[in-house]
Structure 1
Amino acid sequence: MRLGYASNGFTRVNLERAIDGIAACGYSSIELLADAPHWRPGDPTLPIVHALRSSGLAVSNVNVNTAACLWSSPPPESVFEPSLSNADPHVRGRRLDFTFAAIDLAAEVGAIAVSVTSGRVQNDVPPELGLTYFAESLHRICERASAAGLRVGIEYEPALLVERADEVLGLIAAVDHPALGVNLDIGHAVCMGEDPTVIIPRLAGRIWNVHIEDIRGGKHYHRVPGDGDIDFDAVFASLRDVGYRGDVTVELYTCAAFADVAARRAIEHLSPKLAQALDLSTALWPPGDSAWGHARSAPSR
């Protein structure tokens, strides 16, 4: 496991400066925001590639969860629209095209995966029908992503159509594509009343990336690790125990006004906890042991 930081926590600066800032804080990887202000379809990718190479950061994930850049003014209700579960096929098609462009970006920057969300429940569309539309969209996305050597992680989130681990597992079974898994946001799980130490084993083998932040009182507001209630020692131990070898990406889009401070505080709080979990795992499973060699959710391309 390695610690990364999501560029949506640095939205007061352009992407190149965000990359430099995250590297300067000591992170090993970065999640790129495929949305304004860091990227729009058609933007040149060469400056991004050069900035990443100079920084030494790996790309854990490309976040395609929102599409605010498709609106000329702020959207009427949600940055999740146009969504992949919208009843209108033309609206879904617009979001699919956007996602395909982000997949191309992910391939060019050497990312492991892209993440997507379902969008909200529409007032006139029963949730089960919305899930059918979303599953159809996911199949097309997985076909495109797998052809580029990428994985697709569903990020479930409070108040969206897909907001629980059970729903993600149902979609993985329904779509039945090896590229499809979960972009597991620990804070979202906690907000939904889920115990991370219970759901991590259930999702093991399909966890492509992990988002981490702190949560206080079950309210969906991303806080700097250490400022809330989450037991990160238990989270890291659970990830270790299922053989997760991927990225743990700090996501603090709520802290863009003090991005450098938040990023440094987060890594100072999380690094010793992750190191302790990894030291223990090395003692349990020395390099070359089967528990390491068969890590079930290790990203590969």
Structure 2
Amino acid sequence: MRPRIGWGPVRLLAPMLSEGKPTLPELFAMARDFGVDTIELHHAMIPAYDRRTLDEIAGLLQRYGLRLSMLTCAPDFTHPDPDERERQLDEMKTKVVAAWVLGAKGVRVTVGCAHEEVSREQGINWAVEMLLRLAEFAHPRGVKLGLENHYKDRLWELPDFAFDPDVFLEVAEKLKGTPVGINFDCANPLMVNRDPIPILRAVADRVWHVHVSDRKAGEYAHRVLGDGDVPLGAIFAELSKLGFSGVISLEDGQAYAGDEGTKRSLAFMREQISRYWGH
């Protein structure tokens, strides 16, 4: 089976929060115009988490012929305050239920922020504990968790505790054999000059959702696919070899080329999928 192409419109998160534009109906119309039937939403794009609002959004998705691949969340499970970690867990349970109402396969999860006073051992242990507790809630409800090799959520002030791929891989190893799966990010390893392929191979059996973006090595700014240094062809080839058939979501963070850049990136993805999975 060929993977499904999704669109994660992260370049539009800031104007949605500051100006209320685009609205969700406008965003969904854009997705339809781009020719995708799968979209990914950052948790802050959901205006409220009451059932009435969620039902309205589910109706909008249906009206525009879209499915939600993932609700992109960013829990801080490495916070030094245990009460805050519990609050983060409760908030994530609400978002798991929201993902279920919206028909998403799962939620993106993170280890947490790199708080200066938290040691590597503490942070890993806390994150593993909280992710397992969240999985105990999500798994019976049919909602997957996708732990990301993450850099920094757009609403965070600090980078991810597991920005170092070795920390991410240690957390992933401790979660092996549990319901916690992986959302693999193709571009984040380049920010620390690491090859993404060995990281992908280490967690390949648990990857159910993929973020694809491009950037120059050592830089944060997203680029149109093909304009950066991410070895996208090699990554698509590896995913094909692994038999991946989930959602490959364009993490559309580039701002310099706007909608035309999105169209170019989606065209790049379609060409790669045709090349490595066949027509």
TM surpasses 0.5: yes
**Equivalent residue, structure 2, for 1:88:** 81
CA separation of 1:253/1:40 partners in 2, compared to 1, >3 Å: closer, same or farther? farther
Partner of 1:10: helix, strand, or coil?
Answer: helix
- 1:41-60 equivalent positions in 2, closer than 5 A: 41-42=49-50, 44-60=53-69
**Equivalent residue, structure 2, for 1:103:** 96
Q: CA deviation at 1:275?
A: 1.0
Task: Give the conservation status (yes or no) of the 8 Å contact 1:181–1:208.
Answer: yes
The reply on whether 1:29 has 2:38 as its aligned counterpart is yes
Aligned pair count? 262
One-letter amino acid of the counterpart of residue 263, structure 1: T
One-letter amino acid of the counterpart of residue 276, structure 1: R
Deviations 1:207-229 (A, max 9, x none): 12110111113212221212212
**Equivalent residue, structure 2, for 1:152:** 145
Q: CA deviation at 1:276?
A: 0.8
Q: CA deviation at 1:143?
A: 1.0
Q: CA deviation at 1:154?
A: 1.1
User: TM-score scaled by structure 2?
Assistant: 0.86
**Equivalent residue, structure 1, for 2:119:** 126
CA distance in 1, matches of 2:78, 2:178: 21
> Any unmatched runs of 5+ in structure 1?
67-82, 283-301
Deviations 1:234-292 (A, max 9, x none): 1111000011111111112343x86533321211222112211111xx8xxxxxxxxxx
CA distance in 1, matches of 2:135, 2:79: 18
> Any unmatched runs of 5+ in structure 2?
16-21, 152-158
Task: Give the conservation status (yes or no) of the 8 Å contact 1:10–1:259.
Answer: no
Percent of residue pairs identical: 26
One-letter amino acid of the counterpart of residue 119, structure 1: G
Deviations 1:183-234 (A, max 9, x none): 1110102223332332222211111211011111321222121221223221
Q: CA deviation at 1:177?
A: 5.3
User: TM-score scaled by structure 1?
Assistant: 0.80
- 1:1-301 equivalent positions in 2, closer than 5 A: 1-11=3-13, 12=15, 13-35=22-44, 37-42=45-50, 44-65=53-74, 83-158=76-151, 159-176=159-176, 178-255=178-255, 259-279=258-278
CA distance in 1, matches of 2:48, 2:253: 18
CA distance in 1, matches of 2:116, 2:12: 34
Q: CA deviation at 1:106?
A: 0.6
CA separation of 1:17/1:200 partners in 2, compared to 1, >3 Å: closer, same or farther? same
